[in-house]
Amino acid sequence: MCKAEESKTPSAELAAQVAGALLEAKLIREKDQEEMKSALGIGTATAEDWISWLDLALAKKEDTSDV
Amino acid sequence: MSRQISRLSVRSFRGATQPATIEFEKGKPLVIIFGENGCGKSSLVDAIDFVANRSFGSLNHRSVDGHKHPFLAAFGQESEDIEITLHTRDGGTWNATLDGRAAAVERTSDEGELPIVRVLRRAEILDIVEATPSERYKALGPFIDVISYQKSEESLREAVRRSESSYNQAVARQEQAIKSLEGLWETEGSPQENAFAWAKLKSREAIDDLQDRETTLKNLQKAAESLETSTIAYGKAGAAVFEADRLLDDVREELKDLPKLEGVDAVQLVSMLREASPLVSAEPESEKCPLCLQPKPGKELRASIEERLEKLDDFVQLGERLEKAERRRDVRQDARETSWGKLAAGVHEYADMAEAAEKELPSEAKTLHQELKALLDENTPEAERKAVRTSRRLALACAPLDEKLGSITADLAKHNGIRVQYENLISAKKDAQHQETLCERLKEAHQIVEKTRKDYVNGVLNSIGGACKSYYDQIHPDEPLGSPRLAMHENRPKSVELAGFFGTQDDIPPQGYYSESHLDTLGFCVWLAIAGRSEPKDTVLVIDDVFTSVDSQHISRIVGLISDIAEEFAQVIVATHYRNWRDRYRLSHAPGLNAQLLELSNWSLERGISSSSTVLAVEELDARIATEPLERQAVASQAGILLEALFDYLTLLYQRKLPRNHKNEWTLGDLLSACQKLFGVLTIERDEEPELLPEEEDAIGDGETEPVKKPASVEEAIAPFYIEMGQLSFLRNQVGCHFNASGGEISNDDVVAFGKATSALVKAITCQGCGQIPSRRMGDHFACTCGKTKMRPLEFKKG
């Protein structure tokens, strides 16, 4: 594969950045990060996906705080 | 491996009426193709563009009637004869032809990668500068186009909207539950401080006792109903037996009234004849009766029996009716016994339930229940009849229990209503809190997503704008016109604005204020910054004679800029008609050892495009000195021109004083005098490659990393070279320029000595790494492009 094919699109680059930022802000779970990167990079993330990612992270947070 | 172009072969394409091949030298990232107008520079640039980008190149910017592809073929040649072959340093080879109306490019090697080729032509230089903001966005799209990402960002906004809606719905449910509870609370007379506290208390009240009572009463009610059903069934069964007895009595009365036949009971006779008939029929040939053994033929006997049975038909039918009536009576008696069993079981079941519900049971029902039990124990027909009646009275005595059960059920329903509404309220409240938190987090995520995008896009634009500004400032230092920058339009998502600084005003559109030459250099800088953004080491820049309105001073800075950035790209190819551009490299005013200089000869139909390599002026002088027989005049003249170029450059660099004249032209003598004192102090410091010890070289051979050694530097005074050359400089005029008698008396040895002294002086002052006379101000010295040679002093004001 040549370098041009390997290079990321701006959307993919940005998706990787934002997935990292959202994880750092604990708004998503680590296990959802890769799926999010991929969906944001190719523009397929739906409203349901967003609600699901954030809801799961919220549930995780609430579980932890319950303990 | 580098994607540098190593060779370009062109046949029957544009100006190439004859096959032409250009060899690009290894290790020289910069190629200057010099040629006067009409020599074929653009044809070569178009050929590279055709292979790498399948583009028709400069033809794209020209208006022709109909299709453009017919004009790709060289004059008088056919389109199918077009063939361009491009080789790269990493072993790649591509062959391009014209297939119909489009370029057909075929890779003919197993290895190598086609470089990214970006071509800049005069016609395109202002494209990005003068483009509309949306066109500029399109040009920058490959770096800032985040449409896919923005689709997901829009989905996130939709998620925020949905979450807000879910939150509002949860709040509405909560309000509805509060309203319902308050209604119940008010109905109950508003006990406790509020409906919520009341409902909480009520929903926690124990209802086990009520539930138990309800269950007991329901069971008792069920047993009473079952007993009633059994009583009715038993009554019906008794009536049926009575009816069956009556019918049987009727048949028996009829039988009593029948006369005796042949001295026997008619019914018995019929029965006997019916039994005998099959025995007689079984042996028709017998001669005696099988029963009494009296002699009588079997056939006659059989006929006799049948005849008698016919006469007794009425008796036969009556017999059958009697049999049927007896069966019916037996069946109904069995049914009545079964029904009685059920009734008795029902009484016992009721007794059990009544015992459990003793507190609830009315006193009459208790008495009747005891009576009923006693009657069942008697087990007589009279007791049975009484039991049926008592059972019916018991059912009536239990009627008040229905009301009691209804009241308990209503209490339980009310309690359940309060509890359900209270739980609804708690659930809706919890849901509303969850939706509120989720909504806040979605909004927070949206802020991050949006900000990251804006930062990213602005970062890219700032990076491109920053590089552009840096390039622009290098060409236009300290000018009141500059600081170009790129920014996304605030309100239009797909628009990029270009702004600059002019005088005291910032944020002005350059198109409105910049001169044509400033716009040219700005366009070039923007293009260069964009080209450098994506894979520069795999990119070949091709600049096709773009600067026509830029003055000599700025061209000099452009040459410096291109020399600087050449190392950042795979290769930079500059086609120019400016002789000075080439001569700056030739005369060591630019890093000539880093550049390949090619010169195109005048074009003709017969010859097509032809090229030759241009050597540096000092190398050319060395070659002339070594030529036999010696060309005295050529050596002296060449040395003189080289010296004039050197001293002209130095007087300008150090701002040396020169005698004023109208044309600003000076003799070699003027220039030497102006620099005489300077050369008294001028020194050159060179970095020399550190030498490795034998054991260190062995270690590298064994695969170890080369030790980092600081290069040794050697400083040398230039005065001795100047003095040696200066003693012979008179030769320039006497041998190289004029006719005079004394010139003829100068020996060849002196001419050679002058040439060598000139060559030595030029080499002493020039960097041996990049071939440039140091000219960049760096701290206390001038530095060359590669940084390996320093010239001091930085300032010299004396004399």
Q: What single string gives the DSSP state of each residue in chain A? A: --HHHHSPPHHHHHHHHHHHHHHHTTSS-GGGHHHHHHHHHHT---HHHHHHHHHHHHHHHHHHHH-
Q: What is the pLDDT of residues B286-300, one digit of tens each?
A: 888 877 888 888 888
Pairing of strands B539-544, B116-121: parallel
Of residues B449, B441, B518, the one with CA closest to residue B483? B518
Of residues B355, B377, B374, the one with CA closest to residue B223? B355
Question: With an 8 Å Cβ cutoff, are B441 and A47 in contact?
Answer: no
Query: Which of B593, B614, B635 is a domain's end point?
Result: B614
Q: Are residues B576 and B627 in the same domain?
A: no
Looking at beta carbons, which residues of chain B come within 8 Å of A15? Answer: 149, 152
Contact B731, B750 (CB under 8 A): yes
Q: How far is A44 from chain B (nearest CA, A)?
A: 6
Q: Are residues B87 and B31 in the same domain?
A: yes
Answer whether B440 touches A (CB < 8 Å). Answer: no
State the DSSP string of B244-312: HHHHHHHHHHHHHHSPPBTTB-HHHHHHHHHHHHHHHHH-TT-SB-TTT--B--HHHHHHHHHHHHHHT
Residue B93's pLDDT is: 96
**Is B115 domain-assigned?**
yes
Q: Are residues B679 and B659 in the same domain?
A: yes
Q: Are residues B741 and B631 in the same domain?
A: yes
What's the rounded Cα separation, in Å, for the pair B428 and B422?
10
Q: What is the dihedral of CA B712, B717, B718, B719, to 10 degrees?
A: -170
**Is B502 domain-assigned?**
no
Residue B137's pLDDT is: 83
Looking at beta carbons, which residues of chain A come within 8 Å of B162? Answer: 47, 51
Question: With an 8 Å Cβ cutoff, are B146 and A47 in contact?
Answer: no
Looking at beta carbons, which residues of chain A come within 8 Å of B456? Answer: 10, 13-14, 17
Looking at beta carbons, which residues of chain A come within 8 Å of B156? Answer: 45, 47, 50
Question: With an 8 Å Cβ cutoff, are B437 and A58 in contact?
Answer: yes
Q: Are residues B659 and B761 in the same domain?
A: yes
Answer whether A9 touches B (CB < 8 Å). Answer: yes
Pairing of strands B539-544, B781-783: unpaired
Which residues have CB under 8 Å from B439's CB, separation 6+? B160, B163, B164, B166, B167
Residue B42's pLDDT is: 94
Quick one: closest CA in A to B435, which residue? A55
**Secondary structure of B601-635 in the HEC alphabet?**
CCCECCCECCEEECCCHHHHHHHHHHCCCCCHHHH
Q: How many residues does chain A have?
A: 67
Question: With an 8 Å Cβ cutoff, are A3 and B444 in contact?
Answer: no
Q: How far is A28 from chain B (nearest CA, A)?
A: 9
Residue B553's pLDDT is: 80
Of B146, B149, B156, the CB nearest to A50: B156
Residue A5's pLDDT is: 39
> Looking at beta carbons, which pairs linking B505-511 to residues 24 or more positions away fall under 8 Å?
B510/B129, B510/B484, B511/B129, B511/B130
Q: Are residues B38 and B95 in the same domain?
A: yes
A-B contacts at Cβ under 8 angstroms: 100
What's the rounded Cα separation, in Å, for the pair B498 and B526?
10
Q: Are residues B637 and B775 in the same domain?
A: yes
Answer whether B107 touches A (CB < 8 Å). Answer: no
Q: Are residues B759 and B656 in the same domain?
A: yes
Quick one: closest CA in B to A42, which residue? B148
Quick one: closest CA in A to B151, which residue? A43
Residue A19's pLDDT is: 96
Looking at beta carbons, which residues of chain A come within 8 Å of B116? Answer: 4
Q: How far is B114 from chain A (nearest CA, A)?
A: 10
Please tell me whether residue B439 adopts helix, strand or coil conformation: helix
Of A4, A25, A40, the CB nearest to B149: A40
**Is B349 domain-assigned?**
no
Q: How far is B462 from chain A (nearest CA, A)?
A: 15
Answer whether A22 touches B (CB < 8 Å). Answer: yes
Q: Are residues B645 and B784 in the same domain?
A: yes
Q: How far is B455 from chain A (nearest CA, A)?
A: 10
Task: Give the CATH number for residue B562.
Answer: 3.40.50.300
Domain count, chain B: 2
Question: With an 8 Å Cβ cutoff, are A45 and B437 in contact?
Answer: no
Residue B283's pLDDT is: 80
Please tell me whether residue B241 adopts helix, strand or coil conformation: helix
Q: H or E stretch including B23?
A: strand B20-23
Question: With an 8 Å Cβ cutoff, are A10 and B453 in contact?
Answer: no
CA of B345: how far to CAs of B224, B241, B376, in Å? Answer: 12, 21, 10
Question: With an 8 Å Cβ cutoff, are A54 and B442 in contact?
Answer: yes
Query: For B198, phi and psi rounded to 5 degrees?
Result: -60, -50
**Is B774 domain-assigned?**
yes
Looking at beta carbons, which residues of chain A come within 8 Å of B442? Answer: 50-51, 54
Question: With an 8 Å Cβ cutoff, are A10 and B113 in contact?
Answer: no
Both structure tokens of B718 = 């230039």
Of A4, A11, A27, the CB nearest to B445: A27
Averages of pLDDT over runs of 10 residues in chain B (799 residues) are 90 95 93 94 95 89 75 90 95 94 92 91 81 83 84 96 95 91 89 89 88 90 86 89 93 78 72 83 81 82 85 79 91 92 85 82 85 81 83 82 89 89 91 94 97 90 88 85 77 82 80 84 89 88 86 85 92 93 90 92 93 92 94 94 94 91 87 92 86 61 58 88 92 86 86 96 94 91 92 84
Of A11, A22, A51, the CB nearest to B448: A22
Question: With an 8 Å Cβ cutoff, are A14 and B538 in contact?
Answer: no
Contact B319, B271 (CB under 8 A): yes
**Is B567 domain-assigned?**
yes
Quick one: closest CA in B to A51, which residue? B159
Of A25, A39, A46, the CB nearest to B444: A25
Residue type, B17: T
**Is B164 domain-assigned?**
no
Give yes or no for residue A4 having a pLDDT over 50: no
Q: Are residues B657 and B601 in the same domain?
A: no
Answer whether B434 touches A (CB < 8 Å). Answer: yes
Q: Are residues B609 and B634 in the same domain?
A: no
Q: Which domain holds residue B595?
A: 5-132+519-614
Scan residues 24-63 of A and list those with Cβ closer than 8 Å to B. Answer: 25, 27-28, 39-51, 54-55, 57-58
Residue ranges covered by each domain of chain A: 3-66
CA of B124: how far to CAs of B53, B60, B467, B569, B659, in Å? Answer: 16, 11, 19, 21, 44
Burial profile B177-213: b = 16 or more Cβ within 10 angstroms, e = fewer: bbebbbebbeeeeeeeeebbebbbebbeeeeeeeeeb
Residue B487's pLDDT is: 82
**Is B605 domain-assigned?**
yes
Of residues A28, A49, A42, A17, the one with CA closest to residue B155? A49
Q: What is the pLDDT of residues A24-66, one digit of tens each?
A: 999 999 999 999 999 999 999 999 999 999 999 999 988 876 5
